[in-house]
Amino acid sequence: MSRQGGQPRAIVPVGILLLVLLPLLLLPLGAMFVFAFSGGWSDFRAALQTPEAEFALRFSLLIAFATAAINALLGTFAAYVLTKFEFPGRGLLMTLINLPVAIPTVVVGTSLLLLWGPIGLIGRWLDPQGIQPMFAPAGVLLAHLFVTFPYLLGTVKPLMGELETTYEEAALTIGASRWQTFWHVILPGLRPAIFTGALLTFAHSLGEFGATVMVSGNLRLKTQTAPLYIYSQFETGNIAGANAVAAVLATVSFIIFVVVLGSLSPTRARQ
């Protein structure tokens, strides 16, 4: 900011940008906060303290933590395999893995239902066993893992490709196993990228709607995530209640993105 402030005439392009962004981004966000606090601070707190709202927020956060943790492991492993090994079909696999970014999340939800649901390909065998992953927290987690998978890969894989291979080769030459090399040589360099990717995954999971609405069954106090709560409250006409939770989600996401951007800044990257 201070660097740009020193440049001449920054005020014109910055002003134009703000004017463009005002109706696109800033005013809608502002409207949400205005409605969230339309009844004052005490109403805002009361809206957040209903059992349904509290549960929805907590459930969303727990799912987001689990999604970020599992995808941090899976994504790092996937990035490692896809960068370090040559094998037929690698390109195709890369494309498939990135597909969740492009296909509608509702389709993800439907496809999970058709696999794991009681009438699904695998689900119809599990159902008589009493195993029902769909319409349960496990189903929500599955959907979130699917939808957010590409984000961690996106931050880790480019860095993995850029890593100096000489250290790695040196480690292997002096007799380190592949695992030791990965743990002591490759992983330390990736830590900031994994951290950033995990936070992005977390934020996306927190806001996931399309796939969740298909697989969760939308049971209050059981499988209703915060975005589903917001939607159902809005539909019910409880605009203040919906916006109170929405404001919390937006604030948490905002802080996370500040952290992400901060961790990407040059000072952090050097550490």
Partner 1 sequence: MNLRRVRTVVRAMFPIVFMGALFLYALWPWLPFHDDTRTRRTIVFYGFSVLEAPIVERISPGFLKAWKDSTGESIDLRSSFAGSGTVTNQIITGVPAQLALLSLEPDADRLAEAGVVEPKSWRKLPHDGIVNRSPFVIVVRAGNPHGIRDFEDLARPGIRVVHPDPLTSGAASWSIVAEYGAGARAHPEDPQAGYRLLLGIWKNVVAQAASARAAMAQFENGFGDALVTYEVEALAGAHAGRPAFEVVYPRRTVLSEHPLVIVDRNIAAPDRAAVDALVRYLWSEEGQRAFVRANFRSVVDSLNRDNPRFGAIEDPFLVEAFGGWARAKADIVDGVWKGRVLEELGR
Please tell me whether residue 43 binds partner 1 under the rule CB under 8 A: no
Structural contact between residues 187 and 72, judged by C-beta atoms closer than 8 angstroms: no
- How far apart CA 13 and CA 51 sit, in angstroms, is 47
Q: Provide, rounded to whole angstroms, the least separation between the CB of residue 222 and partner 1.
A: 5
CB 112 within 8 A of CB 216: no
86 binds partner 1 (CB under 8 A): no
Q: Which of 140, 270, 139, 147 is nearest to 200 (CA)?
A: 147
Please pick, from the candidates 209, 210, 234, 250, the single residue that binds partner 1 as defined by CB under 8 A.
234
Q: Cβ(38)–Cβ(247) under 8 Å? A: no
Residue with tokens 């690698």: 90
Q: Of the two residues 33 and 65, which places its CB atom closer to partner 1 in the complex?
A: 65
Give the number of other Cβ atoms within 10 Å of residue 149's Cβ: 22
Q: Does 62 bind partner 1 (CB under 8 A)?
A: yes
127 interacts with partner 1 by CB under 8 A: yes
Binding mask 183-212 for partner 1 (x = CB under 8 A): ------------x---x--x----------
Asked if 45 interacts with partner 1 (CB under 8 A), we say no
Q: Write the CB contacts of 10 (distance below 8 Å, at least 6 apart in sequence).
A: 4
- Judged by CB under 8 A, the stretch of 15-23, 26-34, 98-106, 255-263 that binds partner 1 is 255-263
Q: Interface with partner 1 includes 149 (CB under 8 A)?
A: no
| Cα separations in angstroms, 249 against 33, 54, 73, 202 | 11, 12, 25, 12
Distance CA 262, CA 268 (A): 7
Q: Least CB distance from residue 166 to partner 1, whole Å? A: 29
> Does the protein bind partner 1 through residue 236 (CB under 8 A)?
yes
Token output for 80: 């490692």
Q: Which of 255, 261, 264, 269 binds partner 1 (CB under 8 A)?
A: 255
d(CA 124, CA 89): 31
Q: Minimum distance between the CB of residue 9 and partner 1, rounded to whole angstroms?
A: 31
Considering only the stretches 31-39, 55-63, 84-92, 170-178, report the one whose residues sit in contact with partner 1 under the rule CB under 8 A: 55-63
Residues that bind partner 1 (CB under 8 A): 57-59, 61-62, 65, 113, 117-119, 123, 127, 132, 134-136, 195, 199, 202, 217-222, 224, 232, 234-237, 252, 255, 259, 262-263, 268
